[in-house]
Amino acid sequence: MTQDNSSPFAYSPSDELILVVDDDPTQSLIIQSMLENRGFDVLVADNGADAIAAFQQHNPSIILLDAIMPGLDGFETCRQINALEHDSQTAILMFTALNDDKSVDMAFKAGAVDFITKPVCWSVLIARIGYLLKQKANVKHIRRIEERLRHSQKMEAVSNIANNITHNFNNILGSIAGYTDLLIDLKPEDKSDKSAHYLQQIKKSTQRANTLVSQMRVFTNIAITHLETLKPSALLDDTLSILQPTLPGSIKLIKQIEQHLPAIKADPLQFQQMLSNLLLNASQAMSGTGNITITLRQFQQDSFICSYCFHQISGDYIELSITDTGTGIKANTLKKIFDPYYSSKPFGEAVGMGLPIVQGIVHESGGHIMVESVPDQGAEFKIVFPVTEEPSEP
């Protein structure tokens, strides 16, 4: 069964798990062997209770469920699986020696999406499985498009707000900074005069406010990005030399940096800001104690999905990964981490728009981001930048 991986609706058998539920061990073995020979991963259960347990633990793509079994029959097993609260897209295909309208009606009412009678025609079964998997891929693709559209609308709203704020805020900051500089120039150098010290504090606060405005500009079309062709290992080494001293001494930074990598295009200042936000997140996730591993390597893969834009990406990239040993990110939170309206921190404890800023910088550079996390085991952020053939700047 050859699949076209360029299609958004394609599937790979090796990525799909099928649960076979039949009290007849011979029948189960035949189906299992047939599916495994075609590249599918297969689980087998011989009763309804084990089938429900396997579904909850493994979340298979398809369940091939015998209707007539001792104890919990297939119809009731199907009903109980569909009654469970889950975010699964598992399709249940029932098969049985019964060949009457009542049995077919019972199967569909229980929640099955298809029904095959015994003796099973293997070519028909394989065709039905292929159809169901393509339908599943279709639904997943549509959901990604819908999610991308919703997120795009949110980001457009944020962009409009940020644009108005930065424009007006910049005018105010310009006045404050200008008058502060005038007062500093007018003040004589008198160490006993505290007003000079106060003016310097005003100037520093204005500079910090300007930094915040620069972050907000990432969400607007007026963000200033100066992309340069750079050697990624040198860029990372230079950035870490600035950022590493800012980490708590209780955090161990482990660096795995490949040298002599192809060049990438990036803005050095925005790269520093991106890495600073990721290191700050990792540090906070570990409550100031633990290990952060930074890896830089060349990365080539046929296909992967960006965690922000959901585009299917393939090609030659430079991968920067930041892995921590913190508390990890819960599955329901993982879907929202790039949403500027969302924060997992209690009210008053959030320190900015860290991850939305990160994704903005990454995509502005033509890159993509992937996030993987297991609760209580840490998180890994993978940033990929496309390789460029242009010579790097000295």
- pLDDT given at position 183: 85
Domain with CATH 3.40.50.2300 in the chain: 13-120
- Vertex 216: Cα angle to 247 and 272 (nearest 5): 35
- pLDDT given at position 140: 74
- Vertex 272: Cα angle to 385 and 365 (nearest 5): 30
- pLDDT given at position 156: 65
The CATH superfamily assigned to 13-120 is Response regulator (3.40.50.2300)
- pLDDT given at position 64: 93
- Vertex 358: Cα angle to 356 and 360 (nearest 5): 70
- Per the rule left: phi > 0, alpha: psi between -120 and 50, beta: everything else, 137 is alpha
- Vertex 364: Cα angle to 270 and 238 (nearest 5): 30
Strand 264-266 versus strand 228-230 pairing type: antiparallel
Q: Whole-angstrom distance between the N-terminal and C-terminal Cα of the chain?
A: 51
Distance CA 296, CA 232 (A): 8
Distances (CA, A) of 58 to 44, 61, 138, 377: 12, 9, 22, 20
The pTM (predicted TM-score) of the whole model is 0.51
Distance CA 174, CA 232 (A): 35
Structure tokens at 366: 């033509």
Each as own residue / partner, the long-range contacts of residues 36-42 (CB below 8 Å, 24 or more positions apart, any chain) are 38/1, 38/13, 38/126, 39/1, 39/12, 39/13, 39/14, 40/13, 40/14, 40/16, 41/14, 41/16, 41/17, 42/17, 42/18
Domain with CATH 3.30.565.10 in the chain: 228-386
pLDDT < 70: residue spans in the chain: 1-15, 85-88, 99, 148-163, 167, 187-192, 211-212, 214-225, 340-353, 392-394
Q: Which amino acid is at 117?
A: T
Structure tokens at 101: 């309208």
Residue with tokens 């490949």: 258
**What fold is seen in the domain 228-386?**
Heat Shock Protein 90 (3.30.565)
- pLDDT given at position 347: 43
Strand 228-230 versus strand 251-257 pairing type: unpaired
Question: Is there a contact between 390 and 229 (Cβ–Cβ < 8 Å)?
Answer: yes
Q: Which amino acid is at 157?
A: A
CATH classification (class only), 146-219: mainly alpha
Domain with CATH 1.10.287.130 in the chain: 146-219
Question: Is there a contact between 177 and 200 (Cβ–Cβ < 8 Å)?
Answer: no
What tens digit of pLDDT does each residue of 163-183 get?
677 767 778 888 888 888 888
> Within a 10 A sphere around the Cβ of 101, how many other Cβ atoms?
7
